């Protein structure tokens, strides 16, 4: 599903964010990637989204070697990955329904399909009653649920979540994690980058630890 | 792209104008100001040009023939004149016509007896001539030189000073018009660049989100282009409407208050002004809107 083989990334300024990083995530897994600030976690997400190109090494996602994905093919590639950010990244001038529907419009889905699928996904994240609300009218946890609904709506095989609980209080953070766990139970591979060790310990999932751009630990949850 | 996606992007483009009211207003105002100023200078330029042209067309070159010149030679000179591209029109004035015109102009009814005393003896028997009007007075000297080379030409009268003054004046107006238009374009580019920079900062987050969720460049670009072209269209229609009413009002005002000017100067009809102003302004407005919106997103499509 996701395979990194001796991947390194050095920025133009000479900073080496990732060095000789190798890991393998199987289909249907739920994996936490943990590490301190500056450990290379965000670079890893950017490499997986093909926002960055590795300086060396090989990345294979969904059976596709990212070195062979050209600029024009990036949108097609990203549609198979749902992405969730710490700061939600919702379109502020569009309501909940439109934010989620937008992801389907982007992939040129039929209007009938959009009308059917969006309410279904909103009910999965528990936000159907608030479909007309604007992001600013929602709590942080609700906004993150909209972002998850948007990531889910196109049935991706993988969900990448970059610090999804970073802007949330304890209860909301737990709600989001439970939601991601439910999504994983339905068969979607979930990769969560976080530094919230309390949640990581409680969830008992696989934990990959990154330090100074290298994998220093890879433990199965118990 | 599906028809529904096209309609969606079109609707989003129009909605974007409303969502970013201040940015849209600033862009429309900038474009309106630039195109309006362009319209004002173009109208002034075209009217000056027409005035100079009218003055030029009134400047005649007169060709007199040698004594006892045969009709064949006079006809040959006429053909030679006709072949010159700088000749707007010419007419043959016979000795009788010249005498009749002289009587009417200088003797009138009061001195009719003076004219009668000449009976059939035309004192202007050698004054048959061709009166030539040019479409470009700067070519007057070349034409005069050409005429002197023709058989049967005795003398050529020209208004050298008038021709030179008009030519210089025309060059001055062309120079000023080109200068002003270059300055206007530079100002427009500067102002539009500023508004576009503001637009970029307002929209960069939105573009990044679209790219992260797998939007193709064309899908990201489409609403921005609709927005840019619509702003461009509004920004050129407003100054054109303003120009139309302003031009008509000034024409009516001058005609009403300064009727004496009417004999010296006639405004170029509004239809003739708009024949050029309308397409040029629309192309400018739509072009700036299109290019501006492309510039807004081009840097952010690399995400």
Q: Which two tokens stand for residue A53?
A: 């190109």
Chain B residue with Cα closest to A47: B303
Verify whether the Cβ–Cβ distance B219 to A78 is below 8 Å. Answer: no
Verify whether the Cβ–Cβ distance B209 to A91 is below 8 Å. Answer: yes
Instruction: Return the CATH number at B96.
Output: 3.30.70.3040
Assess whether B115 and B242 both reside in one domain: no
Backbone angles phi, psi at B156, to 5 degrees: -130, 125
Verify whether the Cβ–Cβ distance A83 to B219 is below 8 Å. Answer: no
Q: Which two tokens stand for residue A112?
A: 């009938």
> Which residues, listed in sequence order, are joined to residue A31 by a DSSP beta bridge?
A191, A206
- Across the interface, which of B205, B206, B219 has its CB nearest the CB of A106? B219
Q: Which two tokens stand for residue B263?
A: 């004999």
Q: Which domain holds residue B22?
A: 3-55+165-300
pLDDT of residue A14: 86
pLDDT of residue A82: 93
Chain B residue with Cα closest to A71: B302
Q: Look up residue A143 and give its DSSP letter.
A: H
Chain B residue with Cα closest to A153: B213
Verify whether the Cβ–Cβ distance A79 to B214 is below 8 Å. Answer: yes
Verify whether the Cβ–Cβ distance A83 to B210 is below 8 Å. Answer: no
From the number of C-beta atoms within 10 Å of its C-beta (0-12, 13-18, 19+), residue B179 rates as exposed
B219 chain-A contacts, CB cut-off 8 A? 106
pLDDT of residue A70: 92
Q: What distance in Å separates the CA atoms of residue B250 and residue B48, rounded to the nearest whole number? A: 15
Q: Which two tokens stand for residue A121?
A: 């996904």
Q: What distance in Å separates the CA atoms of residue B224 and residue B242, rounded to the nearest whole number? A: 27
pLDDT of residue B299: 65
Assess whether B49 and B174 both reside in one domain: yes
Assess whether B288 and B172 both reside in one domain: yes
- B301 reaches A (C-beta below 8 A): no
Domain count, chain B: 2
**Domain boundary residue among B100, B125, B158?**
B158
Per-residue three-class SS string for chain B: CCHHHHHHHHHHHHHHHHHCHHHHHHHHHHHHHHHHHHHHHHHHHHHHHHHHHHHHHCCEEEEEECCCCCHHHHHHHHHHHHCCCCEEEEEEECHHHHHHHHHHHHHCCCCHHHHHHCCCCCCCCCCCEEEEEECCHHHHHHHHHHHHCCCCEEEEECCHHHHHHHHHHHHHHHHHHHHHHHHHHHHHHHHHHHHHHHHHHHHHHHHHHHHHCCCCHHHHHHHHHHHHHHHHHHHHHHHHHHHHHHHHHHHHHHHHHCCCHHHHCCCCCHHHHHHHHHHHHHHHHHHHHHHHHHHHHHHHHHC
- Across the interface, which of B206, B215, B303 has its CB nearest the CB of A106? B215
How confident is the model over B223-256, as pLDDT tens digits? 888 888 898 899 999 999 999 999 999 988 888 8
A50: three-class secondary structure by DSSP = coil
Sheet containing strand A16-25, strands side by side: A16-25, A2-10, A56-61, A64-65
Per residue of chain A (222 residues), give pLDDT as tens: 899 999 999 998 888 999 999 999 999 999 999 998 889 998 999 999 999 999 999 999 999 999 999 988 999 999 999 999 999 999 888 999 999 999 999 888 999 999 999 999 999 999 999 999 999 999 999 999 999 999 999 999 999 999 999 888 888 899 999 999 999 999 999 999 998 888 999 999 999 999 999 999 999 875
Assess whether B188 and B244 both reside in one domain: yes
Assess whether B130 and B225 both reside in one domain: no
- Across the interface, which of B2, B206, B217 has its CB nearest the CB of A108? B2
- Across the interface, which of A90, A107, A111 has its CB nearest the CB of B214? A107
Closest C-alpha to A121, from A199, A163, A174, A179: A179
A26: three-class secondary structure by DSSP = coil
B212 chain-A contacts, CB cut-off 8 A? 49, 78, 83, 85, 89
Asked if B128 and B102 touch (Cβ cutoff 8 Å), the reply is no
pLDDT along chain B (303 residues), means of 10: 84 84 85 88 84 76 86 89 89 82 72 67 77 84 89 84 75 81 74 68 78 87 86 93 94 80 77 92 87 74 64
Burial B55-78 (b: 16+ CB within 10 A, else e): bbeebbbbbbbeeebeeebbeebe
From the number of C-beta atoms within 10 Å of its C-beta (0-12, 13-18, 19+), residue B168 rates as exposed
Q: Which two tokens stand for residue B254?
A: 């001058």
Assess whether B113 and B214 both reside in one domain: no
Report residue B172 CA to chain centroid gap.
15
In angstroms, what separates the C-alpha of B173 from chain A's closest C-alpha? 51
Chain A residue with Cα closest to B301: A71
Assess whether B217 and B253 both reside in one domain: yes
Assess whether B286 and B190 both reside in one domain: yes
**Domain boundary residue among B158, B176, B203?**
B158
Interface pTM (ipTM) of the complex?
A: 0.85
Assess whether B281 and B208 both reside in one domain: yes
> Which residues, listed in sequence order, are joined to residue B153 by a DSSP beta bridge?
B65
- Across the interface, which of B206, B213, B303 has its CB nearest the CB of A150? B213
Instruction: Identify from B203, B205, B209 which residue to disrupt to test chain A contact, counting A C-beta atoms within 10 A and taking the largest count.
Output: B209
Verify whether the Cβ–Cβ distance A105 to B8 is below 8 Å. Answer: yes
Verify whether the Cβ–Cβ distance B214 to A108 is below 8 Å. Answer: no
Assess whether B140 and B204 both reside in one domain: no
Verify whether the Cβ–Cβ distance A75 to B216 is below 8 Å. Answer: yes
pLDDT of residue B227: 86
- Across the interface, which of A83, A93, A110 has its CB nearest the CB of B19? A93
- B212 reaches A (C-beta below 8 A): yes
- B40 reaches A (C-beta below 8 A): no
Verify whether the Cβ–Cβ distance B208 to A89 is below 8 Å. Answer: yes
- B17 reaches A (C-beta below 8 A): no
pLDDT of residue A32: 95
> Which residues, listed in sequence order, are joined to residue B174 by a DSSP beta bridge?
none
Instruction: Identify from A75, A98, A110, A146 which residue to disrupt to test chain B contact, counting B C-beta atoms within 10 A and taking the largest count.
Output: A75
User: DSSP letters along A186-207, please?
Assistant: TT-EEEEEE--HHHHHHHT-EE
In angstroms, what separates the C-alpha of A108 from chain B's closest C-alpha? 7
What proportions of chain A, in percent to the nearest 5, are helix, strand and coil?
A: 40, 25, 35
- B303 reaches A (C-beta below 8 A): yes
Assess whether B212 and B272 both reside in one domain: yes
In angstroms, what separates the C-alpha of A8 from chain B's closest C-alpha? 20
Strands A158-162 and A81-84: parallel
**Domain boundary residue among B158, B184, B210?**
B158
A93 chain-B contacts, CB cut-off 8 A? 19
Verify whether the Cβ–Cβ distance B209 to A111 is below 8 Å. Answer: no
Question: What's the farthest any 2 CA atoms get from each other in chain B?
Answer: 104
Closest C-alpha to B251, from B234, B231, B273: B273
Chain B residue with Cα closest to A51: B303
Assess whether B103 and B238 both reside in one domain: no
How confident is the model over A85-126, as pLDDT tens digits? 999 999 888 999 999 999 999 888 999 999 999 999 999 999
């Amino acid at each position: 599903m996701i395979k990194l083989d001796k991947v390194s990334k050095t920025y133009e300024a000479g900073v080496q964010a990732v060095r000789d990083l190798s890991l393998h995530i199987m289909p249907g897994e739920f994996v936490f990637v943990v590490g301190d600030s500056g450990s290379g976690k965000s670079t890893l997400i950017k490499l997986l989204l093909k926002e960055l190109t590795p300086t060396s090494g090989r990345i294979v996602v969904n059976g596709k070697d990212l070195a062979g994905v050209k600029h024009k093919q990036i949108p097609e590639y990203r549609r198979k990955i749902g992405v969730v950010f710490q700061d939600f990244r919702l379109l502020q001038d569009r309501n909940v329904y439109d934010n989620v529907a937008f992801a389907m419009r982007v992939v040129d889905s039929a209007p009938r399909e959009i009308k059917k699928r969006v309410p279904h996904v909103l009910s999965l994240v528990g936000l159907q009653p608030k479909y007309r609300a604007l992001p600013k009218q929602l709590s942080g946890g609700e906004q993150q649920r909209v972002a998850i609904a948007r990531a889910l709506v196109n049935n991706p095989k993988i969900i990448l979540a970059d610090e999804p609980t970073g802007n949330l209080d304890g209860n909301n953070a737990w709600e989001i994690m439970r939601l991601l766990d439910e999504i994983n139970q339905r068969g979607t591979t979930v990769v969560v980058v976080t530094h919230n060790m309390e949640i990581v310990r409680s969830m008992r999932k696989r934990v990959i630890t990154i330090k100074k751009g290298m994998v220093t630990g890879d433990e199965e949850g118990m | 792209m599906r028809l529904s996606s096209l309609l969606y992007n079109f609707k989003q483009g129009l909605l974007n104008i409303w969502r970013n009211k201040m940015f849209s207003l600033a862009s429309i105002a900038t474009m309106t100001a630039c195109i309006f100023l362009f319209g004002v200078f173009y109208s002034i330029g075209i009217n000056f040009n027409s005035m100079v042209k009218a003055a030029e067309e009134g400047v005649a070159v007169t060709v007199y023939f040698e004594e006892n010149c045969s009709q064949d030679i006079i006809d040959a000179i006429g053909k030679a004149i006709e072949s010159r591209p700088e000749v707007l029109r010419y007419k043959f004035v016979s000795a009788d016509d010249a005498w009749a015109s002289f009587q009417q102009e200088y003797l009138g009814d009061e001195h009719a007896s003076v004219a009668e005393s000449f009976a059939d003896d035309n004192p202007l028997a050698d004054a048959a001539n061709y009166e030539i009007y040019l479409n470009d007075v700067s070519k007057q000297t070349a034409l005069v030189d050409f005429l002197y080379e023709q058989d049967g030409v005795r003398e050529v009268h020209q208004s050298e000073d008038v021709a030179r003054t008009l030519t210089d004046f025309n060059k001055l107006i062309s120079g000023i018009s080109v200068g002003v238009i270059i300055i206007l374009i530079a100002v427009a580019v500067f102002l539009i660049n500023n508004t576009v920079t503001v637009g970029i900062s307002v929209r960069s987050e939105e573009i990044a989100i679209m790219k992260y969720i797998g939007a193709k460049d064309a899908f990201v670009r489409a609403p921005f282009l609709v927005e840019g072209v619509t702003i461009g269209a509004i920004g050129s229609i407003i100054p054109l409407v303003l120009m139309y009413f302003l031009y008509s009002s000034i024409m009516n005002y001058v005609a009403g208050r300064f009727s004496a000017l009417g004999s010296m100067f006639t405004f170029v009809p509004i239809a003739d002004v708009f024949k050029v102003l309308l397409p040029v302004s629309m192309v400018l407005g739509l072009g700036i809107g299109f290019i501006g919106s492309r510039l807004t997103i081009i840097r952010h499509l690399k995400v």
